[in-house]
Amino acid sequence: MLEEVETEIDDATKRAWELVRSTDPRFFTVRPHHSSWSAAECLAHLSISTEMFLPVLEKSIDEGRRRGLTTTRKPSMDVVGRVLRWFLEPPIRKRLATSAPLVPKAVRAKAEAFGEFSSLQSRLIDLLHQASGLDLGKLKIVSPFDKRVRYNLYSAFMIIVAHQRRHLWQAEKAVADLKASASLRAALR
């Protein structure tokens, strides 16, 4: 099961790379609508989110090792994790206001934005490997985004990859919308 999570993290990294590689820089940093994020902002948001998750994941893994919570059983998500993952999967079912710490303050050039994202993806995979053999269903974490929400460590990894799919979909849609608008403007000239 952790191999599937690693594959999903790798897929998100490849998808982000393809977006960065194939997008004209002027489309990467521009918002398609005043109320939506640019592709650069989506990628920055994912990096910020991962940075907030990393210490929480590390602490849980360290706790599991310290307590000797190992198992050979397949991990499973808890109810809260399943609901959050379903909600985060694209296409976006409902837009939510993002709390201030998670809103990108500035956008970066494509290479810099991808470099940060890719580096954080590698750190996630390292933590996934460190979690191997632990009973991820028994290890609980408190959401770094809402202290009232708790779920198991396996759910945390699954929530992270669903969140990545959501915002990569949003970034791809932003670029597609900008390209469509540019094509329409060019056709109307």
Residue 102 belongs to a domain: no
Residue 42 lies in a domain: yes
Distance in angstroms between the alpha carbons of the first and the last residue of the chain:
53
Single-letter amino acid, residue 17: W
Residue 188 lies in a domain: no
Contacts of 65 (CB under 8 A, 6+ apart): 134
Tell me if 177 is assigned to some domain.
yes
- Radius of gyration of the chain, Cα coordinates, nearest whole angstrom: 18
Q: Is residue 28 part of a domain?
A: yes
Q: What is the pLDDT of residue 26?
A: 85
Q: Does any domain span residue 58?
A: yes
Q: What is the pLDDT of residue 99?
A: 74
From first to last of its 189 residues, what are the pLDDT tens digits of the chain?
789 999 999 999 999 999 999 999 989 999 999 889 999 999 999 999 999 999 999 999 999 999 999 999 999 999 999 999 999 999 887 777 777 777 787 778 899 999 999 999 999 999 999 999 999 999 999 999 999 999 999 999 999 999 999 999 999 999 999 988 877 676 776
- The tally of domains found in the chain comes to 1
The pLDDT of residue 56 is 97
Q: How far is CA 125 from CA 8, 29, 62, 131, in A?
A: 10, 28, 16, 10
Residue span of the structural domain in which 31 resides: 2-93+108-182
For residue 152, give Cα distances in angstroms to 57, 149, 176.
10, 11, 36
The reply to whether 100 falls in a domain is no
- How crowded is the C-beta side of 186, counted as CA atoms within 13 Å? 6
For residue 113, is it within any domain?
A: yes
Name the β-bridge partners of 151.
141
The C-alpha atoms of residue 152 and residue 25 are separated, in whole angstroms, by 39
**Predicted pLDDT of residue 189:** 67
- List, as one string, the DSSP characters of 154-184: HHHHHHHHHHHHHHHHHHHHHHHHHHHHHHH
108 to 67, 77, 95, 112, 130: CA distances (angstroms) = 42, 35, 24, 6, 31
C-alpha 159/C-alpha 165 separation (Å) is 10
**CATH number for 69:** 1.20.120
Where would I find the H helices in 68-152?
Answer: 79-88, 110-131
